[in-house]
Amino acid sequence: MVIEKVLGARVLVKEEVELAQAAGRVLAGMVMADRDYPPVARSIRDGFAVRSADLPGSLEMIGEVRAGGTFVGIVGAGQCVEIMTGAPMPAGADAVVMVEHTRRDGTLMATDRKPSPGEFVNPQGAEAKRGQPLLPAGVRAGFAQVALLATVGTTKVSVYRQPSVAILSTGDEVVPVEALPESNQVRNSNAWSVAVQVARAGGLPTILPVAADNLEDTRRLVRAGLEHDLLLLSGGVSAGKYDHVETVLAEFEAEFYFDRVLLQPGQPLVFGKAEGKFVFGLPGNPASTMVTFELFGRAAVELLSGQQESELRMPPMRLTTDFSHKTGLTRFLPARANAEGTEVTPVRWQGSSDVAALARANAFLMAEADRESWKAGEEIRVLMQ
d(CA 132, CA 173): 58
Give 3-state DSSP helix, strand, coil % of the chain, rounded to 5: 20, 30, 45
- Which pLDDT value is given to residue 331? 93
From residue 174, how far is each of 57, 261, 283, 285 by CA, in Å? 82, 25, 14, 11
**The pLDDT value given to residue 163:** 96
137: phi > 0 → left, psi -120 to 50 → alpha, else beta; which?
Answer: beta
* Domains of the chain, start order: 2-37+127-160 (3.90.105.10), 42-122 (2.170.190.11), 164-304 (3.40.980.10), 316-384 (2.40.340.10)
Predicted pLDDT at 242: 43
pLDDT in tens, 140-150: 999 999 999 99
Which pLDDT does position 215 carry in this prediction?
Answer: 87
Q: What does each C-alpha distance from 225 to 45, 48, 222 come to in angstroms?
A: 58, 66, 5
Contact yes or no for 113/136 (Cβ under 8 A)? no
Identify the burial level of 204 via C-beta atoms within 10 angstroms of its C-beta, where 0-12 means exposed, 13-18 middle and 19 or more buried: middle
Bin 47: left if φ > 0, else alpha if -120 < ψ < 50, else beta.
Answer: left
pLDDT at 230: 96
Residue type (1 letter), 8: G
pTM of the model: 0.85
Low-confidence ranges of the chain (pLDDT < 70): 1, 9, 236-243
Question: Can you tell me the distance from the alpha carbon of 271 to that of 257, in angstroms, rounded to the nearest whole number?
Answer: 6
Report pLDDT digits (tens) over 179-227.
Answer: 998 999 899 999 999 999 999 999 999 999 999 888 889 899 999 999 9
